[in-house]
């Protein structure tokens, strides 16, 4: 096991009426000017907006709204939010939404506290922000686990990069399963697949021998798979929904990563696919994972074979490690179809003449992946996904 320090700054309020029960006490710790941030308006249809605005008003806050945060948030939107936060002297940001709103606000919280351009600071000067506007997240769409970590995935349209900016943590996260019941089923499934992907990408990292984190990870993956199936059978299954929300958080709250370096090669490729096509993140992963994993054999066979038996329950009797690894990858591909996720870019309406070479050439090659990919091979992967 690698050396580690474990400490976690995000306080989680999980369960029914978590906002009603806990938000007022959290707001008592903040200054008067609150930025209420949200996306395209789903929270106005499902009543969450009214409920939260009521709590904010009762707490005597002056509320400034920052809305229209799009899926795959752009750097321009971050700058818009930071400008607003500076102008209105914002003391606290309440981000209400899924990974996109939650990520966008992380970088707003840092950019609003500095004059320097945060992209240049992190990618040119290789420095990190040190001051942030305090924040709380109310999760209305789960999957990314963005509420739990200090990474924010932002699309820089000028640079054609979808990349992580780092270091802003939420002070608290409110996870009420009831708030997610209005999510379209398609988004529930693609979000849950994203959580499965985070678990797999962590599991596949270094070191490759099993440690406690990996055994917890195997349980997390089994849980996600089972609860995706339960949710498809009954989209109103609150127990399954609750499990999926916590599994999404578990995959990104650091516990599965303890003592490990992660893989995340599939994510790096999907993020650049997103930069060029603005595609849905979980769907992009669903198409890429089986194809990328076929390319990772035989280097990743040992871990794939373990996933076959420990996560997917494949009988190992009479099978070699290579056969088990192949059975895992093909079972994963079948699962993608079973749960109605796309298996090709065509199914995602990504045109066949997309500049896949530019996507491959701009993808970060990760150190934790069992296979050391070249950009040429990543291009092959992308072309096979068409």
User: What residue ranges bind ligand NZQ (CB under 6 A)?
Assistant: 39-43, 46, 71-72, 97-101, 103, 140-141, 143-146, 149, 151-153, 179-180, 182-183, 187, 191, 194, 252, 267, 281
Q: What is the dihedral of CA 168, 172, 177, 178, to 10 degrees?
A: -110
Cβ proximity to ligand NZQ: between 188 and 324 the closer is 188
Cβ proximity to ligand NZQ: between 187 and 221 the closer is 187
Cβ proximity to Zn ion: between 122 and 194 the closer is 194
From the CB of 197, what's the least distance to Zn ion, in Å?
6
From the CB of 368, what's the least distance to ligand NZQ, in Å?
15
Cβ proximity to ligand NZQ: between 144 and 231 the closer is 144
CB 143 within 8 A of CB 183: no
| Region of 116-124, 186-194, 244-252, 308-316 interacting with Zn ion (CB under 5 A) | 186-194
From the CB of 108, what's the least distance to ligand NZQ, in Å?
14
d(CA 71, CA 155): 10
| Region of 51-59, 121-129, 168-176, 188-196 interacting with Zn ion (CB under 5 A) | 188-196
Which of ligand NZQ, Zn ion, none binds 96 (CB below 5-8 Å, type-dependent)? none
Which pair of structure tokens corresponds to residue 14?
Answer: 């999980």
From the CB of 248, what's the least distance to Zn ion, in Å?
10
User: Is 194 an interacting residue with respect to Zn ion (CB under 5 A)?
Assistant: yes
Q: Classify burial at 341, counting beta carbons within 10 Å of its beta carbon; exposed 0-12, middle 13-18, buried 19 or more.
A: buried
Cβ proximity to ligand NZQ: between 103 and 243 the closer is 103
Cβ proximity to ligand NZQ: between 151 and 259 the closer is 151
Residue whose token pair is 């701009």 = 362
Tell me the backbone φ, ψ of residue 167, rounded to 5 degrees.
100, -10
From the CB of 32, what's the least distance to ligand NZQ, in Å?
26
Helix extents (H) in the chain:
18-27, 42-45, 48-58, 75-87, 99-111, 118-123, 185-203, 212-233, 238-252, 265-277, 281-295, 301-310, 321-338, 356-361, 375-384
DSSP bridge pairs for 154: 163
d(CA 179, CA 122): 34
Q: Which residue is nearest to Zn ion (CB)?
A: 194
CB atoms within 10 A of CB 303: 22
- The footprint of Zn ion on residues 9-38 (CB under 5 A) is none
From the CB of 86, what's the least distance to ligand NZQ, in Å?
23
Q: CA angle at residue 69 from 33 to 288, to 5 degrees?
A: 140
Cβ proximity to Zn ion: between 194 and 310 the closer is 194
Residue whose token pair is 């990504």 = 350
From the CB of 350, what's the least distance to Zn ion, in Å?
18
Q: Classify burial at 376, counting beta carbons within 10 Å of its beta carbon; exposed 0-12, middle 13-18, buried 19 or more.
A: exposed
From the CB of 315, what's the least distance to ligand NZQ, in Å?
32
Which of ligand NZQ, Zn ion, none binds 39 (CB below 5-8 Å, type-dependent)? ligand NZQ
Which of Zn ion, ligand NZQ, none binds 41 (CB below 5-8 Å, type-dependent)? ligand NZQ
Binding-site size for Zn ion (CB under 5 A) equals 1
Cβ proximity to ligand NZQ: between 74 and 223 the closer is 74
d(CA 279, CA 71): 9
Which of ligand NZQ, Zn ion, none binds 152 (CB below 5-8 Å, type-dependent)? ligand NZQ
CB atoms within 10 A of CB 236: 8
Where does this chain bind Zn ion (CB under 5 A)?
194
């Amino acid at each position: 096991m690698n050396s580690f320090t474990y400490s976690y700054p995000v306080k989680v309020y999980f369960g029914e009426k978590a906002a009603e029960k806990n938000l007022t006490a959290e707001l008592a710790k903040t200054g008067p000017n609150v930025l209420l941030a949200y996306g395209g308006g789903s929270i106005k249809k499902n009543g969450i907006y009214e409920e939260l605005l009521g709590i904010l008003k009762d707490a005597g806050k002056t509320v400034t709204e920052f809305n229209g945060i799009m899926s795959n948030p752009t750097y321009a939107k971050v700058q818009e939010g930071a400008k607003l936060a500076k102008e209105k002297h914002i003391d606290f940001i309440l981000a209400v939404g899924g990974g996109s709103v939650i990520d966008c606000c992380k970088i707003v919280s840092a950019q609003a506290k500095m004059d320097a351009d945060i992209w240049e600071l992190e990618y040119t000067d290789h420095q990190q922000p040190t001051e942030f506007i305090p924040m709380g997240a109310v999760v209305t769409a789960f999957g990314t686990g963005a509420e739990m970590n200090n990474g924010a995935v932002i699309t820089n349209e000028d640079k054609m990069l979808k990349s992580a900016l780092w270091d802003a943590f939420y002070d608290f996260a409110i996870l009420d399963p009831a708030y997610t019941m209005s999510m379209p089923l398609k988004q529930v499934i693609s979000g849950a697949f994203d959580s499965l992907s985070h678990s797999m990408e962590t599991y596949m990292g270094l070191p490759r021998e099993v440690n406690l984190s990996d055994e917890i990870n195997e349980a997390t993956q089994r849980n996600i798979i089972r609860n995706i199936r339960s949710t498809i059978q009954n989209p109103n299954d609150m127990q399954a929904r609750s499990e999926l929300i916590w599994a999404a958080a578990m995959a990104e709250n650091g516990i599965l990563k303890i003592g490990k370096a992660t893989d995340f090669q599939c994510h790096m490729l999907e993020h650049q696919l997103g930069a060029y096509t603005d595609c849905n993140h979980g769907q992009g992963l669903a198409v890429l994972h089986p194809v990328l994993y076929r390319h990772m054999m035989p280097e990743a066979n040992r871990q794939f074979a373990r996933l076959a038996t420990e996560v997917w329950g494949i009988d190992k009797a009479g099978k070699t490690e290579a056969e088990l690894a192949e059975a895992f990858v093909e079972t994963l591909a079948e699962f993608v179809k079973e749960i109605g996720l796309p298996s090709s870019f065509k199914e995602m309406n990504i045109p066949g003449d997309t500049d896949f070479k530019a996507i491959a050439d701009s993808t970060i090659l990760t150190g934790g992946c069992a296979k050391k990919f070249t950009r040429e091979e990543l291009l092959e992967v992308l072309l096979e996904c068409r």
